[in-house]
Amino acid sequence: MPASAAPSGIMPPVVAATASPPSRRPAPKGGMSNGRRLVNHDRRLGHRFVAGADEAGRGCLAGPLVAAGVLFDLERLGPREVRALGALNDSKAHDHEAREALYPVVLRTACKVAVVSRCVRGIDARGLHRTNLAALRDALVRVAVPGCLCLSDGFPVGDTGHAQRPIVEGDAKSAAIAAASIIAKVTRDRYMRRADTLHPGWEFAAHVGYSTPEHRDAIQRQGISPLHRRSFQSMAYQQLSL
């Protein structure tokens, strides 16, 4: 059973009560599932324990930044677990239903899962990139165990106290990073959909804080909400007196 580390911030992972199987996607050439390809990548790194971190909400106009860390014990990922992860991929490659279906699969197959969130005011005060790196590092620290390899998507995140390797486009190459991307995205989207009832008019349930024409129109029509980042450079913001 995976142990979920209690995250700091506003959003602990929420396990779906029920979930349909992950959507079927074309298998890569050779008949290998995408999830098996990602697991094989992590196995080739030569560590029994591999931790991956990824974030959701980096490019949003509104809402928190959410980072997740996922630790896999590759010696305990047998054929059954790898089959369950068959549809695993970068969260951006999946629709909402497929991400929701993969979420409990990751929780069942991982050793540890952690979620770290950073609020809007913190992002504005410290800057987006610095906040992002710190959140990813904290997520890795929460799930890492002695002897593990910590993987991050794209760039180093700072000292975790463990071996670390950044992987360009890691969420499409590493099982641990892809799993973290699913956890981060689902957790953040659920939060933003709940926030829509507290902050009506901005349609957060539809765009979950990203810059869409509808979102920009809502900002121009009624200004910004407490969930909006004031430090984010946006044409929608430049037409307002903030």
Nearest to 223 by CA among 240, 206, 199: 240
For the beta sheet containing 149-153, the strands, ordered from the edge strand earlier in sequence to the opposite edge, are 3-4, 112-118, 65-73, 49-56, 149-153, 163-167
The pLDDT of 138-147, averaged and rounded, is: 98
Q: From residue 56, give the alpha-carbon distance in Å to each of 185, 198, 203.
A: 5, 21, 18
pLDDT per position as a tens digit, 3-37: 444 333 333 333 333 233 333 344 444 568 999 99
DSSP code, position 49? E
Q: What integer pLDDT is reported at residue 230 of this predicted model?
A: 87
Nearest to 157 by CA among 148, 166, 149: 166
Q: What integer pLDDT is reported at residue 4 of this predicted model?
A: 41
The pLDDT of 203-214, averaged and rounded, is: 94
Nearest to 91 by CA among 81, 82, 99: 99
| First-last CA distance in the chain | 48
Q: What integer pLDDT is reported at residue 23 of this predicted model?
A: 39
Q: How far is it, in rounded angstroms, from Cα 236 to Cα 75?
A: 50
**Where does 3-193 sit in CATH, by number?**
3.30.420.10
Q: What integer pLDDT is reported at residue 155 of this predicted model?
A: 87
The pLDDT of 157-170, averaged and rounded, is: 95
Mean pLDDT score of the chain, rounded to an integer? Answer: 86
Q: How far is it, in rounded angstroms, from Cα 55 to Cα 77?
A: 24
Domain ranges across the chain: 3-193
E strands within 146-210?
149-153, 163-167
The pLDDT of 101-120, averaged and rounded, is: 97
